[in-house]
Amino acid sequence: QVQLVESGGGLVQPGESLRLSCTTSGSIFRITFMGWYRQAPGNERDLVALIGREGVTNYADSVKGRFTISRDNAKNTVYLQMNGLKPEDTAVYYCRAAQGSTWYWGQGTQVTVSS
């Protein structure tokens, strides 16, 4: 079992920045992909960014150029640096990690962008 704990969410104004962190614990060997997803009220949970163990990344078109995903394999932690936040970025952000064919979810952290 792998446990994921997100942190770093909050309330910010448009144009501001936040950095989310997701720390893993438990049986964390051979974790390959790690990523961030988000879900706004009434919407499906969508991919925001994904990163492989060697650093290959993939981003949703809506966040390209504004968000950066990174990971520290030694700390088993994945980050999401979010710059130029917009009201439409408001959502619960979830961390996800793959171990073999099994994917694990964190409990989510709220990000609200509002003036």
- Give which of 91, 85, 95 is closest to 31, Cα–Cα: 95
- Dump pLDDT digits (tens) for 88-113: 999 999 999 998 889 999 999 999 99
> How distant, in Å, are the alpha carbons of 54, 93, 101 from that of 83?
24, 15, 32
Q: What's the pLDDT at 114?
A: 97
For the segment 17-42, the average pLDDT, to the nearest whole number, is 91
User: Among candidates 27, 35, 20, which has minimal Cα distance to 99?
Assistant: 27
**Torsion angle (degrees, nearest 10) of CA 39, 88, 17, 36:** 30
